[in-house]
Structure 1
């Protein structure tokens, strides 16, 4: 796995815990395997093949999980979850394990951790923090390739309605409120009206 500020061992551990919480009826070994392998092919956010990363990760799962003692059905269950979890791919998970993995991964993009992760990725990619005259992209199209704060409006604040498990939905609402509170504080410090 190619590590970056937002995709490290801590991210994998948090996703594993939440995958188990979002699908308690699923075998924990499969939930953990899916979480630990979901970013095994981790392409940078600005890579032209970014949308194929989850397909490539699923191929790696199929190639290597049997070597670790997973049966063919277990390997395929993990591979399907890994394939369908990605926001970039835009897939609807086909299985409860896939729904749980997708929710767990998206939860890690929200809340205080989400603020840290988006700032880390923005810094790593050399993006400006925010547009100096229009920080909330009210009179322009949001451009998260140029401005880190724009990622709140292109993706992060839109995630709340995409969760598929009850635990994921509940936690997403809580974490989204944390992000909105962060933006309100940022508005106060910038001495501008908060985003609508």
Structure 2
């Protein structure tokens, strides 16, 4: 099935709330210590860095405005504290390992045992690799916020960054849209749109997350349409 002919984007996207890291850390006096702890323990990469954590914090708060800001921001800042490469054999366990680290560390940073448990549960359940449905509204918000960063223009950049780091080719020039083959995102970066990203919006659980995911998915369809024009193979969805 072909992409929509006009590839137009929704006319009234949800505005992403602007917030600097300093603004987020100022929401609770314990958060600067959380941020310092993350800095000591997380191994960042181009797709999982401080800017990613800040964006996830902004959207976690937007997707769960009823949650205490300290817990929403703490969950976002710590969710990648155990950051394993996409091709690491323990990749699917990364969020569980991160949750264990969070559960152990937050009480020493001024959080109660119950607060640490709530943050750790959200961190454990957010991961796509783990395949879990979050048990709490905070977990659902964190999962949506993290998945939003995989979509849209940011998603395009992050696919390219990860693919370059792992040495993957950009695309299969003979069948870039996976029309006669199964998508293989271990070999081609563009295939990741078909193995995961273009289907991701169906997994969102919060109302703000769902709306923004649809808008960002339209951005990716528009990107692929433009890519098809540039390589001389019109973009056609394999679905």
TM-score by length of 2: 0.81
Tell me whether 1:194 sits opposite 2:213 in the alignment.
Answer: no
| Distance in structure 2 (CA, Å) of the matches to 1:193 and 1:17 | 36
1:168 to 204, 209, 212: 209
| Distance in structure 1 (CA, Å) of the matches to 2:233 and 2:208 | 35
| Distance in structure 2 (CA, Å) of the matches to 1:119 and 1:33 | 28
1:159 to 200, 223, 226: 200
Count of paired positions: 196
The aligned counterpart of 1:19 is 60
The aligned counterpart of 1:89 is 130
**Which is greater in Rg?**
2
* 1:137 CA displacement: 1.2
* 1:184 CA displacement: 0.2
* Runs (4+) off by over 3 Å: none
Tell me whether 1:72 sits opposite 2:113 in the alignment.
Answer: yes
* 1:138 CA displacement: 1.2
| Distance in structure 2 (CA, Å) of the matches to 1:195 and 1:167 | 29
| Distance in structure 1 (CA, Å) of the matches to 2:201 and 2:139 | 17
Query: SS of the residue aligned with 1:90?
Result: coil
Query: SS of the residue aligned with 1:24?
Result: coil
1:2-81 to 2 correspondences below 5 Å = 2-81=43-122
Tell me whether 1:134 sits opposite 2:169 in the alignment.
Answer: no
The aligned counterpart of 2:24 is none
| Distance in structure 1 (CA, Å) of the matches to 2:220 and 2:234 | 16
| Distance in structure 2 (CA, Å) of the matches to 1:74 and 1:53 | 21
* 1:3 CA displacement: 1.0
The aligned counterpart of 1:181 is 222
More helix by share: 1
| Distance in structure 1 (CA, Å) of the matches to 2:196 and 2:151 | 10
| Distance in structure 2 (CA, Å) of the matches to 1:55 and 1:32 | 19
TM-superposition CA deviations, 1:72-92 (whole Å, max 9, x none): 110000000000000000000
* 1:193 CA displacement: 2.0
| Distance in structure 2 (CA, Å) of the matches to 1:2 and 1:136 | 33
Unaligned 5+ segments in structure 2 are: 1-41
